[in-house]
Structure 1
Amino acid sequence: MATKTVRTLLFSPKSFSSSSSNSPSSTLRYGFSPSRPSFHESVMERTLDMAEPFIMKWNTETPIVSGNVTSLFHGNRREARDFLKCVNNLHREMQFLNIENSSSERLTRAQNLMQTAMKRLQKEFYQILSTNRASLDPESVSARSSSSSSIASSLSDFEDSYSDDEIRAAEFSEVEDVAGLAMEDLRLIAECMISSGYVRECLKIYIIIRQSVVDEGIYRLGVEKFTPSQIHKMDREGLDMRINNWLNALKVSVKTLFNGERILCDHVFAISDSIRESCFAEIAKGGAMILFEFPENIAKKSKRSPEQIFRPLEMYAAISDHWAEIDSIFSSNPTASIKSQAMTSLIHLAEFVRSSFDDFESAISKDSSKPPISCAGIHSLTTQVLNHLSLLSDYSNVLADIFADSAKSSLPGFQVGFPNESPAVSQRVARLILALLCKLDAKAKQRKSANLANLFLAKNLQYVVEKVRSSNLKYLLGEEWLIKHDSMVKQFLPK
């Protein structure tokens, strides 16, 4: 019975209060009463009392009875902000209490309430992404990128200080950008979910929806995944059509599609560099790899011929012209494989072009066509070669990059000072013309007399000089080359 009396005195709030006031030593001896909550438990109790009715009002498992509003963020924006503050406060107190007493009943209650809140935020996150798919398309996001941050910042500050009516007025009069509001809401939800430990749930929703946007964008631009063997079997018309689609797709993808997704992802997941980088990589990788693998397959499996060199040149120029944007968008470690694929395509396209030059030179040397019957005639080989070279001269800047590391040709006959900044390209062009002149000299020997042979060479060489002077070839070969070959024409003319 004595033990029971002591128990009663110790665990009775009334008795404890009386005992404490009359006998301080009792408190020192036994510490605080087990029935009395700690400081953090008391704070958690108050937090729960405030948060529970608010969070349960938006429980996804119970119908919303207050009007027809089924979306927290689509209704009262002040209430949406208060909901997030409530969840953040709850999570903060949970952390404190977990350190002190991980088996607390209040902590279990808070965890259940947090799960309810996270389900609501997951639903809101999904709804915002889905219902604003049109306004959050990459093109709109890219166009609004300069003003989105200022809109979001000013609206957030405004909502902290003004009434709901004033906030709604601001939404419709001062901030009419739906995408800007959606981006800000997504950012706030993502920050809350990530801070509360729900990273995976948040990213899963975002990646599924935005990945479909990128994949659909790539498909609409006409870019498809082809194996090298499929490309090799394509006829010229079909291949040209797909290359045209790709050239347009690259520009739109870099300027709009991937740029817009990068901007949106950076904004929504601004809370964490690593999360936003890995998230963007997951979203962009599939479509980007299809886009940047296509040029490599073209370079590997396209049939090489003089006229086929121009499409790879155009593709190389397109990637080079947009390299600054490609490097910026895919600059992180998670996206390194995408940038690496773009570089691999550049390398293979350059190899294709260099090999095409070698094949063209070989074709000139092996030409077996006979010279024209008329001694004054221009050989078809001469017109073919010069027409081809004049078209190539329009790509001199691209060729300069491709042949930047080329060694000097060992062929004699054109060791002159070329005027342009890429002597390697000039030397390659001069080398091809020299191969043509050597072949013409061999054909001239088939003439019946030396005079006819010299006249044949003079006419063809004069055509070469005139074609160089009237095209961009003159900028590659320069005035010194023209003067030298002009004098050669005079040497072949009859005295």
Structure 2
Amino acid sequence: MAEDGEEKLLATVQHIVQTLGSSDTMTEDILKVFSNYDGRLSLDKLYAARTAAAAAAASGGGGGGGGGGVVGERSMTTLPPLPPLPAAAAAVSAAGPRPPITSMERTVRALDRQISQFVAMDRLIWADSADADAFLEAVDDLIGTVQELDAAGTNRALLDRADELLSRCMARLEDEFRALIERPDDAAPVVPGGFGSDGSDDDDDFGGGDGYGDEPIPIAKPVTDYDVVIDALSPGSIANVHQIARRMVDAGFGRECAEAYAAARRSFVDESVARLGVRSRTAEEVHASPCEELEFDIARWIPAFNMVFRILIPSERRLCDRVFDGLAPFGDLAFIAAVRTQALQLISFGDAISSSSRAPERLFRVVDMYEAVRDILPDLDPVFSDPYSAALRAEVSAMCNTLGSSIKSIFMELENLIRRDPARVAAQGGVIHPITRYVMNYLRAACGSRQTLEEVMEGDFGANGGAPVAVDPDRPTSSLAVHIAWIMDVLQKNLETKSKIYRDPSLASIFLMNNGKYIIQKVNDSELGVLLGDEWIKQMTTRVRRWSMDYQRTTWGKVTSVLQTGSPGMGGLPAKAMLQKLRMFNTYLGRSMRHSQNG
């Protein structure tokens, strides 16, 4: 009797389900309600009864043998007729009894209903923490179900359905991920004098509107303290995006997650670099720019390079590591994709400057660029330590090398400048020649960066890792010392050639003497004295002394010869001849005095 009662109960429930379940989804919900209400109404029993009833209805409701027929008969005699099955169900019944729906199918259907509600939301799911938690829980269940179905490999159709649901789920997660990163209230970093903005539009606060485009971008003030970290996202937002990133990686969508992160952060990086006054320029544009414009661009590039590689990029690395904590290598992919474009923009400008004009005036700016790059190289090692960003670290190192080579080329161009100075042009009156002033003042200024020049001339571009070069103060045979000594030799030969233009030998001597004294003075009161050495200074002093003796012999010899009145044993000169000698004496004496004043 107990079994009859249970059969009648199952038949009654089945009839109610057929009557009220106007769709598969509604039928599924009704079956779950009954299964939760009475332990005798398990889902397996309800599905079995439903299948048997459908089979009996398809065969005309007759009572053939078997359990299904019995249930069908009792249903027909004790309850009103069942409504017709849907076309799909009738087709399945006509082909034979439908296999029971597995628990995995029920799980996929339930997850589909639950996740579809979240995916269809027209607001951010993370606007409500409870919704976010429920959605993540459903995502975890779906990922586990897909993995289980894939491992079983017995129900390809169900796996495809679960995969399609997972793709829709991941697309919505990606949208949430990007929205959380790009949300203005969670991404408003404030760097002292740097990237952050307090909302003010005052040009005085940002150095004027030097942006590039229809709407000028304010230029940030330069900073000197690079010990700054940009917290672009709040801790809560980082926790949220990390949860999303972990689900996307677990679901096999790690690369898509990295691309979404890079797209969301790239706009911030682009705007930050634009605020530093740096714009993208081709090598051809750089080469065609006037010297004054390039000076201005280099003056902006150096602090921008320091800001980007000392503050912005390390901060992006820190943020990326927190978002993708434990999710390598996708964090590395996201980081390099976010910063590579703007980093290469700065590097390309440095390369363009390296290959531009070799004019000696460029030396000092190029040295400044080289020092900025060289000093930062050691700090880049922990930032670009992964295989994906190592290539960018190599690009920075290569730029350091090209800047170093450019310094050597510019320094060598000074020799050509001296050689090309016309030998037929000499200073009037034997005074210091302009080429002498230019070369000596240039070399004195260049020695202000002696340590850098020593490093470059030795060919160890950036090899010291930013540490000061070990310079021997008594080493006049270093590469830089040899190079400067060679330049001084070229200058002396040029001056000697110029001295031959003077018709008066005494004036030629005073020209050489004046320029020689000036050279010794500039060498003694600068680093040039250390580089050239005491022996060189002694040799130069000897030359100046010889030129002075030549001057005295050619000038004062004439004066004294006029005073001679004749050979021994002869009488005195006639009065007319003596008067002529006195006039010549006055002329030579006046000329000698003028020469002495010039000397």
Give the TM-score of the pair, scaled to structure 2.
0.60
Alignment gaps of 5+ in structure 2: 1-58, 73-98, 196-230, 461-471, 553-599
From 341, 345, 348, give the equivalent of 1:290.
Answer: 345
From 421, 435, 440, give the equivalent of 1:386.
Answer: 440
Q: CA deviation at 1:125?
A: 1.0
1:224 equivalent in alignment to 2:276: no
* Cα displacement string for residues 10-69 of structure 1 (whole angstroms, at most 9, x for unaligned residues): x99xxxxxxxxxxxxxxxxxxxxx7495xxx47x867986x6776455x13145xxxxxx
* 2:148 corresponds to: 96
From 300, 305, 309, give the equivalent of 2:359.
Answer: 305
* 2:493 corresponds to: 438
Taking a change above 3 Å as real, the CA distance of residues 103 and 482 of structure 1, as seen in their structure-2 partners, is same
Which one has the largest radius of gyration?
2
**Contact 1:138–1:260 (Cα < 8 Å) also in 2:** no
* 2:41 corresponds to: none
C-alpha separation in 2, matches of 1:328 and 1:401: 25
**Contact 1:55–1:83 (Cα < 8 Å) also in 2:** yes
* 2:474 corresponds to: 419
Q: CA deviation at 1:392?
A: 1.0
Q: CA deviation at 1:482?
A: 3.9
Q: CA deviation at 1:316?
A: 1.8
Q: Tell me, what secondary structure is at the counterpart of 1:403?
A: helix
**Contact 1:441–1:457 (Cα < 8 Å) also in 2:** yes
1:351 equivalent in alignment to 2:405: yes
Q: Tell me, what secondary structure is at the counterpart of 2:277?
A: coil
Matched to 1:130, the amino acid is: E
* 2:52 corresponds to: none
Matched to 1:126, the amino acid is: R
From 172, 183, 188, give the equivalent of 2:243.
Answer: 188
1:275 equivalent in alignment to 2:330: yes
From 109, 119, 128, give the equivalent of 1:60.
Answer: 119
Q: CA deviation at 1:478?
A: 4.4
**Contact 2:186–2:233 (Cα < 8 Å) also in 1:** no
C-alpha separation in 1, matches of 2:443 and 2:511: 21
C-alpha separation in 1, matches of 2:330 and 2:288: 42
From 151, 170, 174, give the equivalent of 1:118.
Answer: 170
* 2:371 corresponds to: 317
* Cα displacement string for residues 391-441 of structure 1 (whole angstroms, at most 9, x for unaligned residues): 1112222222221139xxxxxxxxxx9635981112111211121122223
1:360 equivalent in alignment to 2:414: yes
Taking a change above 3 Å as real, the CA distance of residues 479 and 186 of structure 1, as seen in their structure-2 partners, is farther
C-alpha separation in 2, matches of 1:83 and 1:396: 64
After TM superposition, the structure 1 = structure 2 runs for residues 30-179 of structure 1, keeping only pairs within 5 Å, are: 35=100, 41=103, 55=115, 59-62=118-121, 70-76=123-129, 80-81=132-133, 83-100=135-152, 102-103=154-155, 111=163, 114-115=166-167, 117-132=169-184, 135=187, 137=189, 179=234
Alignment gaps of 5+ in structure 1: 13-33, 64-69, 144-175, 407-416
C-alpha separation in 1, matches of 2:115 and 2:480: 71
**Contact 1:418–1:477 (Cα < 8 Å) also in 2:** no
C-alpha separation in 2, matches of 1:131 and 1:299: 41
Which range is displaced more, 267-276 or 182-191?
267-276
C-alpha separation in 2, matches of 1:107 and 1:282: 33
**Contact 2:351–2:403 (Cα < 8 Å) also in 1:** yes
* Cα displacement string for residues 144-163 of structure 1 (whole angstroms, at most 9, x for unaligned residues): xxxxxxxxxxxxxxxxxxxx
* Cα displacement string for residues 428-472 of structure 1 (whole angstroms, at most 9, x for unaligned residues): 112111211222233334445655444433332221122122233
Q: Tell me, what secondary structure is at the counterpart of 2:329?
A: helix
From 301, 325, 329, give the equivalent of 2:383.
Answer: 329
C-alpha separation in 2, matches of 1:107 and 1:277: 31
C-alpha separation in 2, matches of 1:192 and 1:480: 75
C-alpha separation in 2, matches of 1:45 and 1:475: 88
* Cα displacement string for residues 234-289 of structure 1 (whole angstroms, at most 9, x for unaligned residues): 11222222222221221111012222222222222223322222222222222222
C-alpha separation in 2, matches of 1:45 and 1:268: 35
Which range is displaced more, 200-209 or 131-140?
131-140
Q: Tell me, what secondary structure is at the counterpart of 2:429?
A: coil
From 449, 466, 486, give the equivalent of 1:395.
Answer: 449
* 1:198 corresponds to: 253
Identify the structure with bigger relative contact order (alpha carbons < 8 Å, sequence gap 6+). 1
Q: Tell me, what secondary structure is at the counterpart of 2:119?
A: coil
**Equivalences, count:** 416
Taking a change above 3 Å as real, the CA distance of residues 332 and 474 of structure 1, as seen in their structure-2 partners, is farther
C-alpha separation in 1, matches of 2:349 and 2:368: 13
* 2:298 corresponds to: 243
Taking a change above 3 Å as real, the CA distance of residues 203 and 225 of structure 1, as seen in their structure-2 partners, is same
C-alpha separation in 1, matches of 2:420 and 2:509: 22
Taking a change above 3 Å as real, the CA distance of residues 350 and 107 of structure 1, as seen in their structure-2 partners, is closer
